[in-house]
């Protein structure tokens, strides 16, 4: 049986700086990142699928088609997501998800690896406001 990789060994964002092809939309984040975002925000499996459809910039008809549900059901899920996450637009929805991602990477529990490589050394200005951005 293979042990689970530590959070720092699992890439948070797929690809990396020099990887090809360029990843966009929901595929930008790892499965672990999506799982933790859904868990901490209390999203159902279907709600997470709808959010990922929004990340892929699909219209409601595209989301409905992808998950073989009606457009009306898709619209209802989106409205409930907006209410649950206290947002009113798709843009705010994406920003709320990214806010949660950043929050998870700054968590002391190490659920997700930090985005900033200077996080654990105290040089990350997000984690330590007194740190200077120019610090190597």
Instruction: Specify the pLDDT at position 107.
Output: 73
The reply to whether omega before 124 is within 30° of 0 (cis) is no
Region label for 68, one of left (φ > 0), alpha (ψ between -120 and 50) or beta (otherwise)? left
pTM to 2 decimals?
0.70
| C-alpha span between 32 and 34 (Å, rounded) | 5
Structure tokens at 13: 């964002």
CATH code of the domain made up of 19-136? 1.10.10.10
- The model's confidence at residue 5, banded by pLDDT at 50, 70 and 90, is very low
**Average pLDDT, rounded, for the chain:** 79
| C-alpha span between 122 and 130 (Å, rounded) | 9
Answer for the pair 133, 125: CB distance below 8 angstroms, yes or no: yes
The residue-averaged pLDDT of 54-83 equals: 96
pLDDT for 136 beyond 70? no
Top pLDDT among 71 and 121 is at 71
């Amino acid at each position: 049986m293979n042990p689970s990789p530590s959070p720092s060994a699992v890439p948070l964002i797929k690809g990396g700086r020099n990887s090809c092809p360029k990843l966009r939309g929901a595929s930008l984040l790892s499965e672990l990142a999506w799982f933790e975002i859904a868990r901490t925000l209390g999203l159902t499996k279907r709600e997470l699928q709808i959010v990922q459809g929004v990340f892929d910039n699909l219209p409601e008809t595209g989301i409905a088609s992808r998950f073989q549900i009606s457009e009306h059901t898709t619209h209802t899920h989106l409205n409930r997501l907006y209410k649950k996450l206290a947002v009113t637009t798709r843009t705010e929805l994406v920003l709320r998800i990214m806010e949660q991602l950043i929050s998870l990477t700054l968590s002391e529990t190490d659920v997700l690896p930090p985005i900033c490589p200077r996080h654990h050394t105290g040089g990350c200005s997000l984690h330590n406001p007194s740190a200077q951005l120019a610090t190597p």
